[in-house]
Amino acid sequence: MSLKLGVPSKGRLMEKTFAWFEKRGITLSRSGSDREYAGKVEGIGGISLILLSAGEIPRELAAGRIHLGVTGIDLVHEKLPRWEQQVEEVAQLGFGKADLIIATPACWVDVDTLDDLDAVAAAFRKQHGHRLRIATKYHRLVREFLTDAGVADYTLVDSQGATEGTVMNETAEAVADITSTGDTLRANHLKILSDGLILQSQATLWRSRVASYEGGNKAVLSELLDRLG
Amino acid sequence: MANRSQIQARAAMMRVRFEAAGAQVVDPPLLQPAETLLDLYGEDIRARAYVTSDALRGEQMLRPDFTLPVVQMHMSEGAEPARYTYSGEVFRRQEHDPDRSNEYIQVGYEVFDRNDPAGADAEVFSLFALQLRGLPLRAATGDIGLLTAAVQGLRTSDRRKAALMRHLWRPRRFRVLLDRFAGRKPGPEGRDTLLDADDPLTVDVPMIGKRRAAEIEARIDALREDRDTPPISDNELAGLETLLNVRETMPYALEQLRDIAVDLPQITPALDRLGARVASLQARGVDVERLDFEAAYGRTSMEYYDGFVFGFYAEGRPDLPPIATGGRYDALTRQLGNGAEIPAVGGVLRPDLMLEIEEDAQ
């Protein structure tokens, strides 16, 4: 049995994670071809690398099928309602930074705060006969945030991609999405509510509180944590 | 722990008692159309109810409560007056507390009757007290009608009153609105510049989305009008705050509320109804001298209640949800009645929790 480390299987997130470990003397790499999702670990013993989709890492951590995993704070908080009991944050990795925010059309000059959004939602429902639609893939986080703020008369519509386009296409009136520079929002004529920041996210190394650390895994874990400082 | 058949046996026994009180047994379907529930509770219901769907009927929810289907059934085909009882499973998603059940049995009793609302309130409460007799419970009561009357009688614009009424069940947002309407909280930065502009809509961004320019203009007009509306007076604000803080046994609560009615005379009719209810409760043998009354009770968890509200809680078991809850929901019948309405009051009991408390006591 080895300690299983889950890392996003592609793109910049994978490369930057590899670079972060490399700096700490641990070399992660993909074995074989670019298309093969198997990896190897050099510079420390007893760890095996599992490459998988960033969106699946929270679930695997919560099930204890991997011991450690790199994924965004947004995904962990969204997918694991009881994340404090299931995982522990080991380190924030300093990249993949993005804010989960609520944005409305920039032409809504009368809307600046959640307070405004709530008032507009009431009027919108009366006018159009349906609740104001907010497009998002972060259903739980957005709902909890809006419930907490006491916003009513809205409905969440699912959008797994190109969320910023939904307003122009009139399939939603507002969006709740991840943004790092705000460029895509601006390009789609959207603006962020001044108190619409739901969560600040970045790539983070998590430890599963549920996985088994029997056998040699406990020693491997403490050696790894030492090395990561 | 009581097993399933013990719980069902208890539920059946309680239902028989409600039948003996004149109720007709009803059995609404487990699957409820999601649309009605979503319209009523908003997006929050998705966090509390299990949603499923098929291509033919669209989204359905596993029955999160009985009141809604019973009201719908009564409004479409019920004769008057009517008393209903039911027992069966309700389903609630639990994401945060693994100790709370996601499926449990409720037994309920609902009264639709135009005559003597105070008597109907007392009938439901005393029947519940009878079902729960001997258990170490504390009863809490309240009256949403007092707060509603206080808000609707404020000397301010209809728009402000409507905004407060809309958030009566969300104390934090209610507070924010009240502070703003009392002139204690400034609007967002730049708001004055916007409202003072000759043509606030001339901005160099394209108009996008389903909310049209006319709607934005209408809101700006409303904001301008609101800016010119005088703040809610300190006197009324203080009255509202004192009202929300009333928490006493019934006789003292009535006394305090009569004092508050000097500053907020609009609550007097609601107060008379409370007085009539107390008399009816007393006539049914409820010890009103020791009955707790909280003016803010039922504001957070019971969103369709608009008059009398009550709950029974296990003494020494703050970890348990209420053993029984209920209240008056006249407005709900109006909302679901397609133009019809009827005064209605009712509530539900949890036989599983009753058995658990009985085991504790042994």
CATH, residue A193:
3.40.190.10
User: What is the average pLDDT across A196-219?
Assistant: 95
Domain that holds residue A175: 98-201
Q: Which two tokens stand for residue A149?
A: 């703020």
Q: What are phi and psi of A42, to 5 degrees?
A: -120, 150
Question: Residue A34: what pLDDT?
Answer: 64
Shared domain for A183 and A224, answered yes or no, is no
DSSP state of B279: H
Q: Which of B176, B188, B205 sits opposite A189 (nearest CB)?
A: B205
Return d(Cα B192, Cα B186) in angstroms, integer.
Answer: 10
**What pLDDT shows up at residue A33?**
66
What pLDDT shows up at residue B208? 95
Closest in B44, B95, B200 to A147, CB measured: B44
What chain B holds in terms of domains, given with CATH numbers, is 4-28+63-150+238-361 (3.30.930.10), 154-232 (no CATH)
**One domain, residues A122 and A185:** yes
**pLDDT in the model for residue B266:** 96
Judgement on whether residues A55 and A127 belong to the same structural domain of the protein: no
Residue range B135-160, pLDDT digits in tens: 999 999 999 999 999 999 999 999 99
Per-residue confidence (pLDDT) for residue A35, from 0 to 100? 63
Q: How confident is the model at residue A36 (pLDDT cuts 50, 70, 90)?
A: low
Statement to judge: residues A8 and A71 lie in one domain: yes
Which chain A residues touch B208 with a CB distance below 8 Å?
A: 105, 107, 167-168, 189
For chain B, which ranges sit under pLDDT 50?
none
Domains held by chain A: number: 2
Residue from B44, B198, B199, B208 whose CB has the most chain A CBs within 10 Å, to mutate: B208
Among B96, B99, B89, B39, residue whose Cα is nearest residue B65 = B89
Taking the mean position of all CA atoms in its chain, how far away is CA B324?
Answer: 14
Q: Give Cα separations from B57 to B31, B33, B325 (angstroms).
A: 11, 8, 32
Contacts of B300 in chain A (CB under 8 A): none
Q: Do residues A121 and A166 both lie within one domain?
A: yes
CA distance B122 to B128: 10
Alpha-carbon Rg for chain A in angstroms:
21
The pLDDT, as a whole number, for residue A176 is 98
3-state DSSP call for residue B293?
Answer: strand
Give the model confidence (pLDDT) of B96-129 as tens digits: 888 889 999 999 999 999 999 999 999 999 999 9
Among B46, B166, B223, whose Cβ lies nearest the Cβ of A152?
B166
Across the range A177-203, mean pLDDT stands at 96
Distance CA A114, CA B80 (A): 44
Residues A207 and A185 in one domain: no
Single-letter code of the amino acid located at A194 = S
Predicted ipTM of the assembly: 0.87
Between CA B53 and CA B36 the distance in angstroms is 15
Whether A46 and A112 map to the same domain: the answer is no
pLDDT for the residue numbered A10: 81
SS3 of residue B25 by DSSP: strand
- Whether A27 contacts A42, CB under 8 Å: yes
Q: Is A131 on the interface with B (CB under 8 A)?
A: yes
A90 and A126 within one domain: no
Q: Which residues have a Cβ under 8 Å from the Cβ of B285 and sit 6 or more positions away? A: B126
What Rg value do the Cα atoms of chain B yield, rounded?
A: 23
Identify all chain A residues contacting B178, using CB atoms and an 8 Å cutoff: none
Which helix (H) or strand (E) covers residue B160, if one does? Answer: helix B158-166
Give me the pLDDT at residue B77, please: 87
Residues A134 and A221 reside in one and the same domain: no
Query: Which tokens is A182 given?
Result: 């705000």
A184 pLDDT higher than 60: yes
Cβ neighbourhood burial of A119 (10 Å; 0-12, 13-18, 19+): buried
Instruction: Clarify whether residues A11 and A83 are in a common domain.
Output: yes
Is the pTM higher than 0.80? The answer reads yes
Same domain, A104 and A187: yes
Query: In this structure, are A16 and A90 located in the same domain?
Result: yes
Which of A78, A86, A110, A148 has the highest number of chain B CBs within 10 A, making it the mutation to test binding with B?
A110
DSSP letters spanning B329-354:
-HHHHHHHTTT----EEEEEE-HHHH
